[in-house]
Amino acid sequence: MLKWLKVLAELGKIRITIAVSLSTSLGYIMYSERIDSGIFWPVLGLWLLAMGSAALNHYQERLQDALMDRTRSRPIPSGRISPQSALLVSFLWSLLGALILLWSAGFLAMQLGLWALIWYNAIYTPLKRKTPFAVIPGSAIGAFPPMVGWVAAGGSLGHPKILMTAFFFFLWQIPHFWLLIQRFGDQYAEAGFPTLQKIYSELQIRRITFIWTFAAATSALLIPAFGGTRYLITGFVILLGAAFLVAQSGMHLIVNSNPALARKSFLYINIFLLFVMLVLGTDAII
């Protein structure tokens, strides 16, 4: 039983999909300005949809996963679950998640959740095999979860507050992925994926990644600038966090060429996302 639970957790990319759930929660809290029982079902629905999408991605990339050290121990290439069973689990999770969203949050929330799945599995995943720049359109996936939470709480998608928040989540994903590529680019290339290393030098990739990191940090400041926060101090706190991220990324990606330090940039950009979510959520409920 425990082995199967572990397989299902890996198949659903549990750490990533929990982060997706947190961003859905943020959208709900930013509109409702409180945490109430209404948050549970939309977050659960989006989480199940995200896990269904992740399981489908495992099925789609099972051959490539078998070629990379980082991924060959995943459930399908390791033989712990058959491709057909993984596809069935994906379908069940996705169907249940969509129905929960429809029941608890309405048709628009379900549409947004399904669009996230379609964008990830039908657009981004195939595009990764054709261009190393697939992550740019693919990062739109990150914009959907907070919008689902916002709509579930009763908000309109035309409000600048959610548009700027979704824009931040979109931009954040680009340097996040390219920092990952700096660590595992060789493995991606061996598996047949086009990578930036085939086009640019290592220094050029670092510079490009830093530019996108700067853009992501700047986009976080647009949230309070467009009325996404209630208190002036919130914008100042986000500014301090953005300045720290840019300074550290500049030091690790531009000034110092030590690969070990580049890995720290990956950690810092993840911490920055959690930091912004915490600050925005606190601002909304206090």
Would you say 92 and 53 are in contact if contact means Cβ atoms under 8 Å apart?
no
| Residue whose token pair is 């606190």 | 282
Same domain, yes or no: 141 and 183: no
Q: Rounded CA gap, 186 and 22, in Å?
A: 32
Residue that is last in its domain, among 99, 129, 156: 156
Question: Looking at the structure, do residues 205 and 69 belong to the same domain, yes or no?
Answer: no
The 10s digit of each residue's pLDDT in 9-30 is 999 999 999 999 999 999 999 9
pTM: 0.94
- Domain termination residue (choose one: 102, 134, 156): 156
DSSP for residue 254: I
Nearest to 16 by CA among 110, 96, 116: 116
Task: Decide if 166 contacts 147 (C-beta within 8 A).
Answer: yes
- Domain encompassing residue 41: 1-156
Residue pair 187/267 in contact by the 8 Å Cβ criterion? no
264 and 218 in a common domain: yes
pLDDT average, residue stretch 66-85: 91
Are 27 and 153 contacting, i.e. CB atoms less than 8 angstroms apart?
yes
Same domain, 237 and 268: yes
Give the number of other CB atoms < 10 A from CB of residue 241: 19
Residue 54 has pLDDT above 90, yes or no: yes
Do 46 and 174 sit in the same domain of this protein?
no
CATH number (domain holding residue 127) = 1.10.357.140
Report the phi/psi class of residue 229: left, alpha or beta, with left for phi > 0 and alpha for psi in -120 to 50: beta
Same domain, yes or no, for 168 and 139? Answer: no
Shared-domain flag, residues 259 and 163: yes
pLDDT tens column, 197-229: 888 888 888 889 999 999 999 999 999 999 989
pLDDT on residue 184 = 74
What is the phi/psi pair of residue 73, to 5°? -90, 5
Contact 55, 119 (CB under 8 A): no
Please report the pLDDT score of residue 67 as a whole number.
Answer: 87
Q: Which of 107, 129, 117 is nearest to 46 (CA)?
A: 117
Mark whether 67 and 196 lie in a shared domain: no
CB atoms within 10 A of CB 202: 14
180 and 137 belong to one structural domain: no
pLDDT score for 262: 66
pLDDT at 260 over 70: no
What is the pLDDT, as a whole number, of residue 258? Answer: 66
Q: Are residues 106 and 188 in the same domain?
A: no
pLDDT tens digits, residue range 93-131?
Answer: 999 999 999 999 999 999 999 999 999 999 999 999 999
Count the domains in the chain: 2
